[in-house]
Structure 1
């Protein structure tokens, strides 16, 4: 007998998933990704309800991704994280150890970096908040989402420091704030503060808080200090509660702007916002900065992750000059 369609499986699964994701303050991007992976998992197993499946079915699906779909290690890990969330956070079931899981081996490619001249060529053709975001990515070594998730309180102008909050499993860290960005950033925040005051006057002005802080400071969501430094131009509505808040800016807007300028500059490299972070690390090492310091600024848990930039720093094959060039 055919299994009932997903939408009629009691209790309603996907509203429960969305509600749990919202409660735990997962980003919109992660929410959409997890839901898609869970749907694919259910479809793969003939639309059986996840309650009737477990570790064996998860293992079979992840192995299918590795052996049949030939996905990357990061893609397989993302699918695994989504299914672990489903079972542990929504269905409240502990998953067994998957002893026969076929793990995709990660292939570490050298990061694409820009020369200082190329960085300048790109930044000089950007303006407004996009210029400021790109400048912080390069000047502070931030990931694009770390930059967009910055709160006003995370920026210390007196100490020239930026506090980067725990994201994607990394520890909180402190990185530098370029002195040249102090005045432009202050001017930008004045505009953001005006927008926040307009929101408050209209009965809005709330932002999404990290789950732990939301419980500890339930009224802080309207405080200026906790607003995003780079807010969205539009208000958002939470589907489950109907709450209206202002989220951070969309990373796609940053990606599109940088892609356009890179093309205009005639740079023949696959440049993304995070290319600025790679360039930050490479240029620090080229300038003689200690690799342990660079590791701390980037937030790498393992020094081996930072070591990959030493290969980029080398000029030519392994940094060796060709004998033809020294004749």
Structure 2
């Protein structure tokens, strides 16, 4: 007689659905965390007994008591909508329109070319190369660190950016000024990969569909990360010990020190270099549609913000004081 299996826990089911849809591990962690917080806030009531009023109450709590940013509040909303629509199969209607927090319109921080140069001068090694690609190719930090060998095209002077924020591949320029140092770096990375293979390692994470279709591809050079981690780590999903890509925090901490040493008096993050890439292209005369495509954005409206930070003063208006 077969022993009946105990029902699966809710969060285990959430994980299964997330992985079935091939969401990133970071998204999985984020969604699980928000669902836990939502359930704790409502004293662990079964989510099927709750709905839009309880979601709205939780989001209000985050805004009023937690004083979280609108982007954080919207992230929590996305997690809860995923729970109800994709896991519990409960349709809440078009609630995003009235529950979504309105994000304040803020102009991005943009560096001058001279400031970019001053900061990069205080960087060395792999970290310097990564920051150069953020500015020279308009990449997000995660996109740069997720680059694989097969995505670098020296012949065409371009990168192929895959699995982007909008799940659409795009092409972006590979600056000629970094090609030589990048090739030197890749030579060292290949030697490291060969050493890993000789030690019985050398595999790299592949999305489930690719790993199933190409079972030996995870050991091949072309699938390795351009910027491999300095150490091994255990994949949280498969449990396999692998060399992942360089950690984002390592780049962020190194950049913070470089900005401090450069004496650039602006609030600079890795994303600032992507903003500067777009603004400087527009200043050079490239049309906004081209910049939009290079950034991988679906709506040109989100790219229009860079027209407001071009080096023309306040909206290009000459101050009356300068006419005296």
Tell me the equivalent position of 1:96.
Answer: 92
2:195 to 198, 208, 224: 198
Q: Distance in 2 between matches of 1:47 and 1:138?
A: 46
**Aligned counterpart, 1:6:** none
CA-CA distance at 1:99 after TM superposition: 4.1
Give 3-state SS (helix, strand or coil) of 2:172's partner.
Answer: strand
TM-score by length of 1: 0.88
Deviation per CA, 1:111-157: give whole Å up to 9, x if none. Answer: 00111111000111100000000000000000111101111111100
Give the alignment partner of residue 244 of structure 1, picking from 227, 233, 241: 241
**Structure 1 equivalent of residue 143 of structure 2:** 146
| CA-CA distance at 1:87 after TM superposition | 4.1
Q: Flag the 1:223–1:50 CA change in 2: closer, same or farther, 3 A.
A: farther
- Deviations, residues 178-212 of structure 1 (Å, cap 9, x unaligned): 01111111111111111111222222211111344
- Mark the CA change 1:274 to 1:48 in structure 2 (over 3 Å): closer, same or farther: same
Structure 2 distance, partners of 1:264, 1:64, is 40
Task: Give the structure 1 partner of residue 32 of structure 2.
Answer: 35
TM-score where L is the length of structure 2: 0.89
SS of 1:295's equivalent in the other structure is helix
SS in 2 for 1:162: strand
The change in CA–CA distance for 1:203 and 1:20 in structure 2 (over 3 A counts) is farther
Shift of 1:24: 5.2
How many residue pairs are counted as aligned between the two chains?
318
In 1, the alpha carbon distance for the partners of 2:269 and 2:107 equals 14
Q: Show the counterpart of 2:214.
A: 217
Distance 1:128 1:113 in 2: 24
For residues 210-252 of structure 1, the C-alpha deviation after alignment (integer angstroms, 9 at most, x for no partner) is: 3443343232222111111111112221345422222211111
Tell me if structure 1 keeps the 8 A contact 2:59–2:77. Answer: yes
Change in 2 beyond 3 A, CA 1:194/1:80: same
Aligned to 1:176: 173
Contact kept in structure 1, 2:231 and 2:243, CA below 8 Å: yes
Could you tell me how far 1:58 is from its partner in structure 2? 3.2
Listed as ranges, the gaps of 5+ residues in structure 2 are 1-5
Q: Please, which runs of 5 or more residues in structure 1 have no aligned partner?
A: 1-8
Supply the RMSD in Å over aligned alpha carbons. Answer: 2.4
| Residue 304 (structure 1) aligns with | 301
Give the 3-state SS of the residue equivalent to 2:190 in structure 1: helix
Query: SS at the partner of 1:167?
Result: coil
The 1:63–1:108 alpha-carbon spacing in structure 2 relative to 1, beyond 3 Å, is: same
Q: Return the alpha-carbon distance in structure 2 between the equivalents of residues 88 and 217 of structure 1.
A: 32
